[in-house]
């Protein structure tokens, strides 16, 4: 059955035949019924003239302003002419099977892809060698300052004592009561660890280092124009999301197209593993003429 969103015009078609041959030149009218999801039925058009197309085909268009509720819209074409079946029904389904959610998710995906492209271009244009060189220069300066401090302090604080400031002397006395030599040795050991860690950071930022390789891997994964990410989105199968998908989601629409069957008045939509995803009640009309194609 054809699907459409709210607010869009729909066109119903009917084909009249006599003994298997198309009948032209008929006076055909159309009655249109609006069936809401709770079963409320309202006739929104009555005895309206249908337009002849040719080869026994007739059409009636309902403006988008009249397609204003979720549910089904049925058109009954009627003629008094000499045909095999004087009344022919056609149907449009509005805002069902997840079609009402198509616009927003696609817009969101497009926005996300655009953002990824911007970030990727920024990664490609950033001057990483210059940034790494600047960081290394700063680290070298820190290391030089640290070594200078070690030299000025001297062994057991001798460099500080040599300054001759009374406040330094008083400080030495206080520090000595806490075990000056041991404390300074601990500071020197920690400083050595800082120097070692600084050297490790420099190595990781250099060309071929771990951080540099991670940046290269990010560029390789995202691709130069976001094509790799877009390709993953398009090829992802329904089986990955069907267990968590809502009955009115886009996943439900795809499953309905490939994994559905009708028994009696029950439309059963199945998951890719054959278990039931959801069921719907269908309305049958034994006299209805099936639609075999849309052009």
Residues 216 and 174 reside in one and the same domain: yes
In a domain, 109, yes or no: no
What's the whole-number mean pLDDT along residues 264-285? 90
Report the domain count for the chain.
3
* Model confidence, pTM: 0.38
Q: Which range, of 42-51, 140-149, 212-221, 279-288, averages the lowest pLDDT? A: 212-221
Q: Which range, of 28-37, 50-59, 99-108, 286-295, averages the lowest pLDDT? A: 99-108
Residues 147 and 76 reside in one and the same domain: no
Q: How far apart are CA 200 and CA 100, in angstroms?
A: 55
Residues 125 and 82 reside in one and the same domain: no
Whether residue 81 has pLDDT greater than 70: yes
In a domain, 161, yes or no: yes
What mean pLDDT value characterizes the chain? 83
Domain final residue pick, 95, 129, 160:
95
In a domain, 277, yes or no: yes
Q: How far apart are CA 77 and CA 23, in angstroms?
A: 14
Q: 263-287 as b/e, with b when 16 or more CB fall inside 10 Å? A: eeeebebbbeeeeebbebeeeeeee
Secondary structure (3-state) at 126:
coil
Q: What is the CA radius of gyration of the chain?
A: 39
Q: Identify the CATH number of the domain in which residue 35 sits.
A: 2.60.40.10
What's the whole-number mean pLDDT along residues 36-64? 96
In a domain, 289, yes or no: no
Tens digit of each residue's pLDDT (9 = 90 or more) over 241-262: 889 989 888 888 888 888 899 8
- Would strands 87-94 and 3-4 be described as parallel, antiparallel, or unpaired? parallel
Higher pLDDT among residues 290 and 146, named by residue: 146
- Of 105, 84, 90, 101, residue with least CA distance to 16: 84
In a domain, 113, yes or no: no
Tens digit of each residue's pLDDT (9 = 90 or more) over 157-197: 676 666 666 666 555 555 455 555 667 777 888 888 898 88
Domain range holding 149? Answer: 119-232
Residues 270 and 205 reside in one and the same domain: no
Domain final residue pick, 95, 111, 140:
95
In a domain, 104, yes or no: no
- E strand residue ranges, 80-178: 87-94
For residue 110, with 0-12 CB atoms within 10 Å meaning exposed, 13-18 middle and 19 or more buried, which class applies? Answer: exposed
DSSP label of 243: T
Residues 135 and 216 reside in one and the same domain: yes
In a domain, 295, yes or no: no
Give the model's confidence band at 99: pLDDT under 50 very low, under 70 low, under 90 confident, else very high. low
Residues 222 and 127 reside in one and the same domain: yes
pLDDT at position 74 is 97
pLDDT at position 133 is 79
Residues 215 and 125 reside in one and the same domain: yes
């Amino acid at each position: 059955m054809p699907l459409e969103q709210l607010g869009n015009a729909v066109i119903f078609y009917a084909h009249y035949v006599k003994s298997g041959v198309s009948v032209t030149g008929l006076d055909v009218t159309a009655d249109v019924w609006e069936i809401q999801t709770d079963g409320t039925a309202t006739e929104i058009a009555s005895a309206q003239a249908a337009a002849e197309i040719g080869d026994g085909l007739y059409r009636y268009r309902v403006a988008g302003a009249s397609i204003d509720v979720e549910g089904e819209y049925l058109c009954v074409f009627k003629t008094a002419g000499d045909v095999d079946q004087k009344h022919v029904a056609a149907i449009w389904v509005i805002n069902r099977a997840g079609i009402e959610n198509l616009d927003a998710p696609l817009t969101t995906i497009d926005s996300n892809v655009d953002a990824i492209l911007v970030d990727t271009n920024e990664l490609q244009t950033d001057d990483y060698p210059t940034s790494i060189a600047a960081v290394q220069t700063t680290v070298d300066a820190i290391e030089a300052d640290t070594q200078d401090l070690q030299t000025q302090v001297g062994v057991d604080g001798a460099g500080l004592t040599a300054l001759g400031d009374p406040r330094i002397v008083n400080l030495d006395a206080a520090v000595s009561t806490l075990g000056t030599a041991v404390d300074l040795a601990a500071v020197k050991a920690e400083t050595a660890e800082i120097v070692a860690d600084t050297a490790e950071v420099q190595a990781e930022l250099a060309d071929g280092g771990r951080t540099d390789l991670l940046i290269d891997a990010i560029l390789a994964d995202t691709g130069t124009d976001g094509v790799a990410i877009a390709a993953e989105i398009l090829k992802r199968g329904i089986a990955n999301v069907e267990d968590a998908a809502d009955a009115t989601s886009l996943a439900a629409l795809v499953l309905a197209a490939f994994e559905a069957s009708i028994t009696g008045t029950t439309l059963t939509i199945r998951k890719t593993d054959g278990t039931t995803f959801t069921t719907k009640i269908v309305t049958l009309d034994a006299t209805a003429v099936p639609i075999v194609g849309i052009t």
